[in-house]
Amino acid sequence: MQHISILGSTGSIGTSTLDVVARHPDKFQIVALTANSQVDLLFRQCQQFKPRYAVMLDGAAAKLLRQRVSVAGLSTEVLSGDAALEHVVVLPEVDTVMAAIVGAAGLRPTLAAAQAGKKILLANKETLVMAGNVFMDAVSASGATLLPIDSEHNAIFQALPRGYNGDLAASGVRRILLTASGGPFRNTPLSELHNVTPEQACAHPNWVMGRKISVDSASMMNKGLEVIEAHWLFNASADDIQVVVHPQSVIHSLVEYVDGSVLAQLGNPDMRTPIAYGLAYPERIDAGVAPLDLFKVATMNFVAPDFERFSCLALAYQALRAAGTAPAVLNAANEVAVAAFLDKQISFLHIPRIIETVLDALPVSMVNCLDDVLGADAEARRIAQQQIHKIFR
């Protein structure tokens, strides 16, 4: 029996994780569920899975949930705040942590899980983007198990040799091919991108995701963050990682070997597949995902990314090559810009412009500890907000 804490149980990854868990009550037990402010959904999850703890970041939401849990006669203890997130991932009885909180808010509890030596199912991009060396050092020092849950990185993990030790050349790998759908604006004329709405940006053609990550997919910043993630997960340089636009989202990523072989992981675009693989690794279990019908797919297309259309992807490669605090600055500026776009304060095309301005404004510093990352993050957010105020006023 695997005992699990889920960071971000009300998001798309969290709900998909609980769907897989519910199919295998003999294998998995939920210890803790956490959310930001979605009281109704977290309460229903508490009713179904009866966790020992439920955590809400928002204090008022936690108070409301506590009342509802009490009235329902549930034994779940309701906690609130950042410290509570860290508490429920380091509990001795917790074996596995699903890190699915979107954004920088997931950094500290995910790092705490790594320091505690847990099995970490990593779906929070920002942990590696912001603090890759700090996090990977913690994983190494504690002996934690790290399994990527992003569909692309999970596919790469499956296509690499079992027991891959971080040396691409020694493993006979020529390069990693990271697939991207291209999002909803893959074929939209550049002249029309300035006028796209948040609703259009969030209408992903293949995946059902949260609003922030949907906008990142539309700008291909999501793929840029995944390039940086792949660097840390697989010890791959920027030149070792090639992004390939594959609109059908059937091939989730590939690994090219020096002998000419290319191994790919295929499947329907459903996050329950990589989640189930991570939960049961090294075994495989039913995820509730429909079998892939190749005859229905029929055709698969591949094109190189357009760095003019998707300048966010180019900025991510730039930040990876700059190293140090640059990826944290990139991520922070993007989070602020995307939030402003979703609030209709700026246009879609303002997002990369703000990110580029912030990257140019801040010198790159070395990252030796978490404080270095958080300092860069705060300064990047301050400058990004300044840029938005200039545009919005």
Q: Same fold for the domain at 2-148 and the one at 323-393?
A: no
**Both ends of the chain: CA-CA distance in Å?**
56
Determine the CATH number of domain 2-148. 3.40.50.720
CB atoms within 10 A of CB 198: 17
* H-helix segments, the chain: 12-22, 39-49, 59-71, 82-89, 107-115, 125-142, 151-159, 198-201, 211-219, 221-234, 272-280, 294-297, 311-322, 326-342, 350-361, 370-392
Q: Is the pLDDT of residue 206 over 70?
A: no
242 beta partners: 177
Bridge-based pairing state of the strands 77-80 and 2-7: unpaired
Task: Tell whether the model's pLDDT for residue 171 goes beyond 90.
Answer: yes
Q: Is the pLDDT of residue 186 over 90?
A: no
Per-residue confidence (pLDDT) for residue 207, from 0 to 100: 59
What backbone torsions phi and psi does residue 305 show, to the nearest 5 degrees? -70, 145
The stretch 118-139 carries a mean pLDDT of 94
214-250: pLDDT as tens digits? 899 899 999 999 999 999 999 999 999 999 999 988 9
Mean pLDDT value of segment 249-258: 96
- Judged by average pLDDT, the poorest of 183-197, 336-350, 374-388 is 183-197
- d(CA 125, CA 222) in angstroms, rounded, equals 9
Confidence class for position 80, pLDDT limits 50, 70, 90: very high
Round to whole Å and give the CA distance between 384 and 365. 18
Cβ partners under 8 Å of residue 278, min gap 6:
121, 147, 148, 149, 154
Task: Give me the pLDDT at residue 262, please.
Answer: 98
Instruction: Give, in words, the CATH class of 323-393.
Output: mainly alpha
Measured CA to CA, the distance from residue 223 to residue 64 in angstroms comes to 38
Q: What letter does residue 303 receive in the DSSP assignment?
A: B
Residue ranges of the domains in the chain? 2-148, 150-268+293-310, 323-393
Average pLDDT of 189-202?
Answer: 83
259 versus 391: the higher-pLDDT residue is 259
Q: How confident is the model at residue 209 (pLDDT cuts 50, 70, 90)?
A: low
Percent of the chain with pLDDT over 70: 98
Q: Buried b vs exposed e over 322-336: b needs ≥16 C-beta within 10 Å?
A: ebbbbbbbbbbbbbb
Least confident of 149-153, 157-161, 196-200: 196-200
Phi first, then psi, for residue 150 (nearest 5°) are -45, 135
Contact 37, 65 (CB under 8 A): no
Q: How confident is the model at residue 191 (pLDDT cuts 50, 70, 90)?
A: confident
% the chain with pLDDT above 90: 83
* pLDDT band at 355; cut points 50, 70, 90: very high
Within its chain, how far is the Cα of 373 from the centroid? 18
Cβ atoms of 330 and 351 closer than 8 Å:
no
Q: Is the pLDDT of residue 208 over 70?
A: no
Token code pair at residue 43: 């309460």
* Residue-averaged pLDDT of the chain: 93
Q: Tell me if residue 123 falls in helix, strand or coil.
A: coil
In the chain, count of helices (H) and strands (E)? 16, 11
pLDDT digits (tens, 9 = 90+) for 9-29: 999 899 999 999 999 999 999
- Please say whether the beta carbons of 97 and 144 come within 8 A: no
How far apart, in whole angstroms, are the C-alpha atoms of residue 146 and residue 198?
A: 34
Q: How far is Cα of residue 204 from the mean position of the Cα atoms in its chain?
A: 16
pLDDT of residue 205: 63
**Least confident window among 50-59, 200-209, 291-300:** 200-209
List CB contacts of 373: < 8 A, sequence separation 6 or more: 107, 130, 131, 134, 325, 328, 367
**Beta strands 96-99; 2-7: pairing state:** parallel
The whole-number average pLDDT for the span 276-286 is 96
